[in-house]
Structure 1
């Protein structure tokens, strides 16, 4: 039963640590990408259709100024930048310098646009809906539609990992309590004698606490080693070299997760032991 306690605790703590690392990675990616996300409001030209465009007509100067004033008045908007057709064409030439489509566009075919930086990048839906209803706006490009599904999957993975670890931690606590209860039952006569001769509760409980703590510490060491090896093989060796565009957690995050695992493991060893031995302290 002690071996079962160690194995269950090691597996549950490993999953708990993996959930913490996943949460840290999601926060890092959100912090890096959300701060850089801008909403692009593309204006009408004579060649564009759809949105709030009039067929064959581009956005007028009055409409352009009205769009700017409306966007700047929105409390969720931090800054508004205007990109002219000439600037958009220069960026197009830079991006597709080595592509055969470089000569497929002229300055007149480019769309001028407003780039919007938000106060809080997560509160974007109101700005997008407002911009889409402005006269002279052809399209609103929002990268959140691309990134949000990825973050939703990462969050689901994070909570699934933590949820499984919580269930296994509960199983480990029940196993610890059952193991200590059986040990106390087999030694109930010795415990009764110690109570009769005036032994303190701490003196009686100490052997059981040491037993559960040793099992817990072994589980913590195994889980910590598993987490460190998993991080090195998955993140340090492979992910960081193959996907360099993303920010990745480092060893400081692993250390934080291991410390959190150790705290949970010690609490998991101590609390069930104290609860399991209460009955025998009253003998």
Structure 2
């Protein structure tokens, strides 16, 4: 009997305040979409770090004509200097640090450049003479880059030693900033959602003050009186959270897995399984925000 009463009160409240309920759903949907997006972006960053850091390389660029570094004062790298550098690569001194290395000629560098920038208008303007020779080095421990840098940067014929991980860190820092921006927007939207839920519950309690007064007179418990109001806010928030989870799943399925993963097969992207991990947290967060907001509002505006 009590369950039927509570359900009827919930249905009545949702119908009376339909426009406000829709507003709560939309605001919750937007705010939790940003929250989930920020969480998925952090998962993407962690996955990319684990993927790329295992494949990160150190590039030892060799001297060309008219290079400005002190080790290139004699001009382009000579065959002897190149041989010395390669001998150092295979020496016992660097064996604990270097897992493997590969020489890349100017022609190979041009081929890689054209493949990477095949859609760029500058691809046909670059020639092999404009690109440096290099050794591509994979380290046993990427954290030991400084040791390798000290060994090779002072050798004649070496222009510069670059840790590709530094380039990745710049990309990840931009992604982290984007994640923080999403969290900031989500925070603002969550505050709006909480205020809107509180307003909705307040209006619902005010519109049914006569019913609640009669219920107090007949001895209804505090829980029975307040529960319909709390569940109204929770239901609206759960619908918004479900919509946010569905939107994130659609982005992960159709955009990330359906397009980006095919266009960039060498990059590790998140999948819909990560969305399924985030979705329960969004539902729980939506229900928690609505529940707490509703209870605090009822304590102030609904005296039982």
Q: What is the aligned counterpart of 1:160 among 181, 185, 188?
A: 181
Structure-2 residue corresponding to 1:252: 273
Q: Matches of 2:104 and 2:231 in 1, distance apart?
A: 72
Q: Matches of 1:128 and 1:118 in 2, distance apart?
A: 11
Q: Matches of 1:60 and 1:241 in 2, distance apart?
A: 40
SS at match of 1:139: strand
Q: Matches of 1:94 and 1:280 in 2, distance apart?
A: 72
Q: What is the aligned counterpart of 1:34 among 46, 50, 53?
A: 53
> TM-score normalized by structure 1?
0.72
**129-138 or 205-214, larger mean C-alpha shift:** 129-138
SS at match of 2:269: coil
1:88 aligns with 2:116: no
Q: Matches of 1:193 and 1:19 in 2, distance apart?
A: 47
Asked whether the equivalents of residues 8 and 172 of structure 1 are also in contact (C-alpha less than 8 Å), the reply is yes
Q: Matches of 1:49 and 1:7 in 2, distance apart?
A: 59
1:190–1:48: structure 2 CA closer, same or farther, 3 Å change rule?
Answer: closer
1:127–1:201: structure 2 CA closer, same or farther, 3 Å change rule?
Answer: farther
Structure-2 residue corresponding to 1:10: 29
Structure-1 residue corresponding to 2:124: none
Q: Matches of 1:5 and 1:193 in 2, distance apart?
A: 29
1:171 aligns with 2:192: yes
Q: CA deviation at 1:169?
A: 1.4
Q: Tell me, which stretches of 5 or more residues in structure 2 are unaligned?
A: 1-19, 115-127
Asked whether the equivalents of residues 38 and 115 of structure 1 are also in contact (C-alpha less than 8 Å), the reply is yes
Asked whether the equivalents of residues 45 and 59 of structure 1 are also in contact (C-alpha less than 8 Å), the reply is no
Q: Tell me, which stretches of 5 or more residues in structure 1 are unaligned?
A: 73-77
SS at match of 1:216: helix
Q: CA deviation at 1:7?
A: 1.1
1:115–1:231: structure 2 CA closer, same or farther, 3 Å change rule?
Answer: closer
Structure-1 residue corresponding to 2:264: 243
Q: Matches of 2:303 and 2:148 in 1, distance apart?
A: 67
1:275 aligns with 2:290: no
1:25 aligns with 2:39: no
Q: Matches of 2:136 and 2:239 in 1, distance apart?
A: 59
The 5 Å alignment of 1:143-154 reads 143-154=164-175
Structure-2 residue corresponding to 1:228: 249
> TM-score normalized by structure 2?
0.68
Structure-1 residue corresponding to 2:123: none
The 5 Å alignment of 1:97-246 reads 115=137, 117=139, 119=141, 126=146, 130=150, 134=154, 136=156, 137-188=158-209, 190-191=211-212, 194-195=215-216, 199-246=220-267
SS at match of 2:267: coil
Structure-1 residue corresponding to 2:10: none
SS at match of 1:88: strand
1:53–1:236: structure 2 CA closer, same or farther, 3 Å change rule?
Answer: closer
SS at match of 1:25: helix
1:248–1:162: structure 2 CA closer, same or farther, 3 Å change rule?
Answer: same
Asked whether the equivalents of residues 80 and 114 of structure 1 are also in contact (C-alpha less than 8 Å), the reply is no
Q: Matches of 1:214 and 1:161 in 2, distance apart?
A: 25
Asked whether the equivalents of residues 41 and 131 of structure 1 are also in contact (C-alpha less than 8 Å), the reply is no
1:172–1:48: structure 2 CA closer, same or farther, 3 Å change rule?
Answer: closer
